[in-house]
Copies of this chain bind each other. A is one copy, B any other.
Amino acid sequence: MVDKTVPDIVVGRLPRYLQALQRMQQEDILTTSSQDLGERLGISAAQIRKDLSQFGEFGKQGTGYSVSFLVNQVQEILNVNKVWDIVLVGAGDLGHAIARYQGFSNRGFRIVMIFDADEHKVGKQIGKLEIHHVSNLKEKVRAAGVKIGMLTVPASVAQKVAEELTEAGVQAILNYAPVPLSVPKHVRVQHIDPIIQLQHMTFYLE
């Protein structure tokens, strides 16, 4: 079912489908169609059907899709039918904001560890979590078996921290630092850089 042949671009759309579907659930909408879902997301109905067909047959002709069933299926495909532990490195303003964000848990994630290099921050709490010193990162992350890391450190140390994370067994990194990371092939990296997205839009302004 889940061949290697699924295009990465299709995988990248599934989380958006899931988000829209979960919102429908909150609104007590029981059924949807590729057209309805597509209109909510600005994606063609054909594309949604094609994407989903990569993983199975989830709909009923004439009726559409059961929202709750499709939520479960997509969660399973994306491996988010469980909660993933996350290690957060960097307890600056952004790190604090992320650590306090309440929206992770019902979408499959939970921050379980926080590290920083600043001795003054070590030992303090963010919510229920204590800030640890990065010198203990590798050991603690490996011991906890955490597979996902979030980087909110200065650009100058992002590469070094990324290496420590991968050595500790982390296989997915969400990088908020504005630098490309070089990591082993088995490690996935996603970047978040607001300025890159702003510059994408300024091209079309004026």
Where the two chains meet, the residues of A that have a C-beta atom closer than 8 Å to any C-beta of B are 11-12, 14-16, 18-20, 23, 40-42, 77-80, 84, 86, 92-94, 96-98, 100-101, 103-104, 107-109, 147-148, 150, 171-172, 174, 178-180, 188, 190, 192-206
A199 near B14: Cβ-Cβ < 8 Å: yes
A159 to B110, CA, bound (A): 27
Chain copies in complex = 2
Known: A15-B196, A40-B180, A190-B201. A93 touches B97 (CB 8 A): yes
A199 to B148, CA, bound (A): 11
Q: Which residues of B contact A40 (CB under 8 A)?
A: 180
Known: A148-B201, A188-B204, A205-B79. A98 touches B178 (CB 8 A): no
A171 to B42, CA, bound (A): 18
B202 near A174: Cβ-Cβ < 8 Å: no
Which of A12, A178, A193, A199 has most B Cβ within 10 Å?
A: A199
Q: Which residues of B contact A188 (CB under 8 A)?
A: 201, 204-205
Nearest B-chain residue to A147, judged by Cβ: B205
B201 near A172: Cβ-Cβ < 8 Å: yes
Nearest B-chain residue to A12, judged by Cβ: B200
Q: Which residues of B contact A180 (CB under 8 A)?
A: 20, 40-42
User: Can you list 13 A-B pairs, Cβ within 8 angstroms, ordered by A?
Assistant: A14-B199, A19-B178, A19-B193, A79-B206, A84-B198, A84-B205, A93-B100, A98-B194, A108-B195, A147-B205, A148-B201, A172-B202, A192-B197
Q: How far is the CB of A123 from chain B (nearest CB, A)?
A: 21
Nearest B-chain residue to A6, judged by Cβ: B203
Nearest B-chain residue to A175, judged by Cβ: B197
Q: How far is the CB of A15 from chain B (nearest CB, A)?
A: 4
Q: Which residues of B contact A80 (CB under 8 A)?
A: 199, 202
A195 near B107: Cβ-Cβ < 8 Å: yes
A3 to B171, CA, bound (A): 41
B101 near A11: Cβ-Cβ < 8 Å: no
